[in-house]
Amino acid sequence: MIQLDLGDRRPLYMQIKEKFKELIVTGAIKEGERIPSVREMANMLAINPNTIQHAYKELEDEGFIISQRAKGSFIAPISKVQNSSNNSALYKSLMDTVAELIYRGENLDDIMATVNKIYENIRKE
Amino acid sequence: MIQLDLGDRRPLYMQIKEKFKELIVTGAIKEGERIPSVREMANMLAINPNTIQHAYKELEDEGFIISQRAKGSFIAPISKVQNSSNNSALYKSLMDTVAELIYRGENLDDIMATVNKIYENIRKE
Amino acid sequence: MIQLDLGDRRPLYMQIKEKFKELIVTGAIKEGERIPSVREMANMLAINPNTIQHAYKELEDEGFIISQRAKGSFIAPISKVQNSSNNSALYKSLMDTVAELIYRGENLDDIMATVNKIYENIRKE
Amino acid sequence: MIQLDLGDRRPLYMQIKEKFKELIVTGAIKEGERIPSVREMANMLAINPNTIQHAYKELEDEGFIISQRAKGSFIAPISKVQNSSNNSALYKSLMDTVAELIYRGENLDDIMATVNKIYENIRKE
DNA sequence: GTGGTCTAGACCACC
DNA sequence: GTGGTCTAGACCACT
C-alpha cells in the first residue's frame, strides 16, 4: 500500500502523509473507507508509531481523514475538503511546475495531454 | 528582486533557490545574465553569506546557473538545463497537483486555462 | 579509518569524501553498513562538524551513501550507484592517466598488471 | 586548440595546464615543438595573460615544457619528463579510477580494451 | 542522539 | 572583489 523511500530527503511522516493524499485525491481510497490503524501501519512499515501518528494528525488537520477514538481513521467526506481551503497555493505550485517543464524543453501539447489523462483516470474510478 | 518569508517553514536557502528558479524559468532573468554576488545578495537580504552560497551551490548543481570564482554567477545556457535531466519528477509533481486540484472541486477548464496562460506569458518575453 | 593530510592542497572535505569513496569502491565498507555520525567523525578527526557534513552531503549527492535524519548515514545499495550515472568522466580520467604513465616511460604490461590486481583484490572480498 | 569550459569547477589556469598535458602525453604535440606565446594564448582564449602565465609556469615546473625568454615555449625532451618524478601518484589515481569503474558495474574486459586502445593510439603517432 | 540549517567571522585562491 | 572553504557555536526537526 505504501512504500518508504529511504533515499527521499523528506521526513518519513511527510512521505506517508503525501502518499496518503495521493491515494485519496486519485480516488484509490474512497470517502468513508477505513485506513489502517496507527499500530497496524507502524508494524507494516517497521517504523515508530509516533511517526505514523504525526502523519495522520496532519492529514486530519488538512481535512483528508477523520480519526475516531477506538474506531479508527476514515477518509473524510469530500465536501469537507472542498470547503476547507483556498487553492491558491496549489495553483502557484501548478504554475511553477509547468513553467519549469516548458523551460526544460517540454512541449505544451504533452503537458496538456498529461493533465487531461489525470482527469480521465480520476473520472473513471 | 527577492523577498524572504520568515513564516515559511522551508529553510531560507531553499526559498532563495526556488525564487531564483522561478525568475529563470519564467524568463524574468535570461541566459548569460549576471546575478548579484554572494555578498551583495547577503547584504540585500540581511542574512549570512553562507546561506546565499548554499542556495547558489544548489542552483549550480541543478544546472540553472554557473558560478565562476573571481567573476560572479551567471544564468546558465538553457541548453545545459534541457540536456541535464529527465523530467519525470516534474511530471509526477504535475500529476499530484492536478489531481488534488480536481479533488478540491476545481474545474478542468480552469486548470487548462492556467496552463495556457503560463505558456503565453513565457512566449511573450 | 581515515587520515587527513594537511599538506594536501585539496580541501579537507574533499579528502574525506574521496577517502570514503575509496573505502566503498574497494569493498572495505559494504552496502548497508553504517558510517560514523557527523559528530563522531568530527571528534575523531578533530575538525569542525560542518566539514564532515559537507563531505557526507557530496557522498550522498553522488549516490554512495544515504543519510537519514535521526538515524545516521549508511552505504547506499550498489544498484543505486550503478544506475545513477554515466561513466564517461571516469573513462576520460582513465585515458588521461594511462596516457601520462606511458609518456613517462611506464610499461604497458605493468599497467595491465596493476589493473588486474585491483580487480582480483576487489573480487576476493 | 584549447577549449575552456566555464561550467568546469577547476580554476582556468589548471584547465589550460591539464589540456596541454593531454596534448603532450597523447603525442598531439611533439618534443621540440613550439606552443603559442602567453600573449597569443591570452588573445585566443580572451582571458587575462596572468592566467596563461600561471599555467605555463606549472607546466615548466613539472618538466613538460621549456620557456626561453624572447623565443617562446617549447615541448621539453621526453627524457626530461621520464626522469623527473616517480609515478606513484599516477598509479594511485589509476587504481582509484579502475576500482570505481568496477564498482559502477563496468566490465574488466572493457577497461582492459580501453587501456590497450590508448596504447595503440599513442604508438601510431 | 542524529542530520540539517544558520550565524558571525575568518582566510584563501583566483582573476 | 569574487566564489569557496573552514571554524565555533547555536538551534531545530526527526526518530
B97: pLDDT strictly greater than 70? yes
In this prediction, residue C84 carries a pLDDT of 67
Does nucleic acid strand F have an atom less than 7 angstroms from the CB of B53? yes
For residue A6, which residues of chain C lie inside 8 Å, CB to CB?
66, 68
Helix (H) or strand (E) segment spanning residue B75: strand B72-75
Cβ of A111 within 8 Å of Cβ of B94? The answer is yes
Cα end-to-end distance, chain C, whole Å: 18
Q: Which amino acid is at C14?
A: M
Distance between CA atoms of residues B56 and B66, nearest Å: 9
The DSSP 8-state label assigned to residue D47 in this structure reads S
Query: Which residues of C are less than 8 Å from D100 in CB distance?
Result: 21, 25, 90
pLDDT tens profile D30-56? 999 999 999 999 999 999 999 999 999
D102 with C90: CB under 8 angstroms?
no
Using pLDDT thresholds of 50, 70 and 90, give the confidence band for residue A125.
Answer: low
Point out the residue among C85, C96, C114 whose CB comes nearest to the CB of D22: C96
| pLDDT band for position A64 (cuts 50, 70, 90) | very high
Q: What is the pLDDT of residue B121?
A: 92
Contact A82 B99 (CB under 8 A): no
Share of chain A above pLDDT 70, in %: 97
Q: How confident is the model at residue B123 (pLDDT cuts 50, 70, 90)?
A: confident
User: Is a pLDDT exceeding 90 seen at residue A111?
Assistant: yes
Cβ–Cβ gap C25/D87 under 8 Å:
no
D22/C99 CB distance under 8 A: yes
pLDDT tens by residue, C109-120:
999 999 999 999
Asked if A102 lies within 8 A of B122 by C-beta distance, the reply is yes
DSSP secondary structure, A56-106, as one string: HHHHHHTTSEEEETTTEEEEPPHHHHHHH---HHHHHHHHHHHHHHHHTT-
Contact yes or no for B122/B26 (Cβ under 8 A): yes
Per-residue pLDDT, A84: 65
Nucleotide F5, nearest residue via CA and C1': C11
What's the gap between Cα B95 and its chain centre? Answer: 19
Confidence of residue B45 (pLDDT cuts 50, 70, 90): very high
- Chain D residues in contact with C99 by the CB 8 A cut-off are 22, 25-26, 118, 122
pLDDT in tens, D79-93: 888 876 678 899 999
Contacts of B96 (CB under 8 A, 6+ apart): A18, A21, A22, A25
pTM comes to 0.92
Which nucleotide is the nearest neighbour of A12, by CA and C1'? F14
* pLDDT of residue B67 exceeding 70: yes
Question: Where would I find the beta strands (DSSP E) of chain B?
Answer: 34-35, 65-68, 72-75
Minimum Cα–Cα distance from B75: chain D residue: D7
List chain C residues with CB under 8 Å of D114. 91, 94-95
Strand F proximal to A79 Cβ, under 7 A: no
How many Å does it take to go from CA C57 to C1' F13?
Answer: 18
d(CA B78, CA B65): 10
